[in-house]
Structure 1
């Protein structure tokens, strides 16, 4: 099976690298392109077996499974270019949340799916969110789930929870990176610890926390209970968090959903929905 990737920006490159490093595919099974060809060639330099094509059309003509990894505003244009050369044997996958599988099916007649990856997939971890079109053949559903099992935990979701699910698995790493950086900055500001040491300690703490959860030693609530000893120092810190966090995370989800609605408006114009 030949796998095409149209767009090798941040997420497109992460997808290619994760699939290869996770041994889901061999480099020679990948056909890629990018508007700036140099970006695609950079991937080929790391994985010489990867084939680089000059256009989305060439990728589609030489692939069975095609990932469209471009910005939402560019998806419709890419689909229009490749659609005449797709057959019922192809499967087209978009990785962007504002475009539904129903919209994809209005432009192409083959199997379609949406797979929303996460930067955590680069470490062969995290979740990949999947939604399949009504015409998506069972073989493609099975193929996609098997592919992404190598780099993540594939999870099929319904359309109505796409945005919030993406907020958690795709935006979440950036949100928690920001919170951790603020945590580190506060430690440096309020104590004699230096930034480098604080960064090492915080990073290793996050890695250890992830391992505790992954291995099932604790759930989030039981982990907090174990660390937060009655009358102890951790409890005093928790009191501050409870008092000062307020509705910050509610506001985060409100902001992401507001931007999502804005993106939907733009893509709906293109897909005439």
Structure 2
């Protein structure tokens, strides 16, 4: 299978790294391109035998499975440019949540899918969120699933759930990292712990926590109950968190949904402009 990646920003680079590290694809089977060619060439220096193409159309001429790793507002002009270049045997994959399957199928004449990766896929772990297009065959689905399973746990997500699922699986590492940094700052501000000590303890704690869940020693609820002793220090800390974070995550999901709707509106307007 020949794989193409259009856009070598954070997500495109993440996918290339994960594909090669997991041996899902060899470098010589991957072609990349980026509007700023230097970024694609830097990735090729990192992975020898990776091919750098000059344009999206060159990618389509050389590959079978194409990841579209561009920003939402770049989709309308990109898809218009490529509309006549697709082959029926190809599979187009968007990694952008505001672009719907219906929009992809309107402008791409071959089977399509959406795959939302996570930064943790670089460590060959975590989830990828998958939404299949209506014209994908069972064989195409199984082949895509097999590729993703080399570096992640693929989970099928419907259109209605994609934003919330993406907030957890893809944006979640940034949200959790923010909370951990606040935990470190709080410890340094109110106790004799140094920044270095607090950061080390926090990092090692979260690494160990990940191992606990990977080994399925506890569920989330079981672990919290195991650590919390009634009337103890952990309980007092949880009470303080409950007071501070009572509606924090509800507000977070509302904010991301509002941005999602805004992005979808801009994408629709972009497609309308391309058609006019």
The TM-score normalised by the length of structure 1 is: 0.98
Unaligned runs of 5+ in 2: none
Aligned residues: 273
What are the within-5 Å matches in structure 2 for residues 118-157 of structure 1?
Answer: 118-157=118-157
What's 2:260 paired with?
260
In 2, the alpha carbon distance for the partners of 1:269 and 1:138 equals: 34
Question: Are 1:28 and 1:51, in contact at CA under 8 Å, matched by a contact in 2?
Answer: yes
Which residue in the other structure is 2:38 paired with? 38
The CA deviation at 1:49 is 1.2
- 8 Å contact from structure 1 (residues 188, 198) kept in 2: yes
Q: Does the 8 Å CA contact 1:7/1:34 hold for their aligned counterparts?
A: yes
Deviations 1:126-171 (A, max 9, x none): 1100001111122221111101101110001110001000000111
Structure 1: stretches of 5+ with no match in the other structure: none
**Structure 1 segment 198-237 matched on structure 2, within 5 A:** 198-237=198-237
Match of 1:69 in 2: 69
Report 1:137-216 matches (<5 A).
Answer: 137-216=137-216
**What's the offset of the Cα at 1:76?**
2.0
Q: Is the 8 A contact 1:106 1:271 kept in 2?
A: no
Distance 2:232 2:256 in 1: 36
Segments ≥4 residues shifted beyond 4 Å: none
1:15, 1:104 → 2: CA distance? Answer: 20
Whether the 8 Å contact between 1:65 and 1:92 is mirrored in structure 2 is yes
**Equivalent in the alignment of 1:87:** 87
- C-alpha RMSD over aligned residues: 1.1
What secondary structure does 2:170 align onto?
helix
1:227-255 C-alpha deviation (Å, 9 max, x unpaired): 00122211111111112212011000000
